[in-house]
């Protein structure tokens, strides 16, 4: 009765020892062949990162006409007006990479503005968030503004348009699931 078990353990230990030898010799043989050789797959060292680009300060939209696709908007971190691209970044080498324009950027049609925005002349009687308005009432420039008819409103903190659908989904859906869950918890299981 003990002999088949003994044969199994001897066979298992031989397999284990041979596996260890294969791993050791496999690793050591590659180590010997690569000793002193440079790694061909190694990437060249990266160039140092350039210093951050500061955008030109401005007071009116006319100050930004020199740099294409920029608008005079308030920067979020220091509340200064600068000529920024549509994604609120400074132009690199005078060019903007942004495909769409954000809130309060100059535009010519709706296709240039982000989702939830319209390209329109701002209502001069409406108060703006934190004095974001730069142009005077004499200037009738079109800006990307929140589409209030579709339920979007200006978000001061995020410098974008927040939608009513998001608020609805964030409040109503959890309340409905809470009510359904409490009803189901009261019914006995059958």
Residue 154 CB contacts under 8 Å (≥ 6 apart), including other chains: 103, 129, 145, 146, 161, 162
The domains of the chain are located at: 61-166
Under 8 Å between Cβ of 69 and 85: yes
In this predicted structure, what is the pLDDT of residue 133? 47
Under 8 Å between Cβ of 105 and 132: no
In this predicted structure, what is the pLDDT of residue 33? 54
Burial bucket for residue 58 (CB in 10 Å: 0-12, 13-18, 19+):
buried
In this predicted structure, what is the pLDDT of residue 145? 92
Whole-angstrom distance, CA of residue 190 vs CA of residue 183 = 15
Along the chain (190 residues), what's the average pLDDT of each consecutive run of 10 residues? 53 66 58 56 71 82 89 85 91 88 91 92 61 50 90 80 62 69 71
Under 8 Å between Cβ of 134 and 73: yes
pTM of the model as a whole: 0.53
């Amino acid at each position: 009765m003990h002999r088949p078990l003994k044969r199994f353990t001897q066979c298992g230990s031989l397999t284990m020892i041979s596996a260890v030898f294969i791993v050791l010799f496999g690793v050591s043989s590659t180590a010997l062949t690569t000793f002193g050789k440079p790694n061909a797959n190694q990437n060249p060292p990266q160039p140092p990162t350039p210093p951050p680009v500061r955008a030109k300060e401005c007071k009116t939209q006319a100050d930004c006409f020199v740099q294409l696709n920029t608008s005079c908007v308030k920067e979020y971190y220091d509340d200064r007006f600068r000529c920024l691209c549509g994604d609120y970044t400074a132009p690199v080498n005078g060019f903007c990479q942004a495909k769409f324009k954000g809130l309060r950027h100059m535009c010519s049609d709706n296709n240039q503005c982000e989702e939830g925005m319209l390209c329109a002349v701002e209502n001069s009687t409406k108060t703006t968030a934190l004095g974001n308005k730069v142009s005077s009432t004499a200037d009738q420039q079109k800006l990307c503004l929140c589409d209030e008819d579709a339920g979007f409103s200006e978000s001061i903190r995020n410098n974008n348009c927040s939608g009513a659908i998001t608020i609805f989904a964030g409040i109503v859906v959890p309340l409905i699931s809470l009510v359904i869950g409490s009803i189901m918890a009261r019914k006995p299981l059958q």
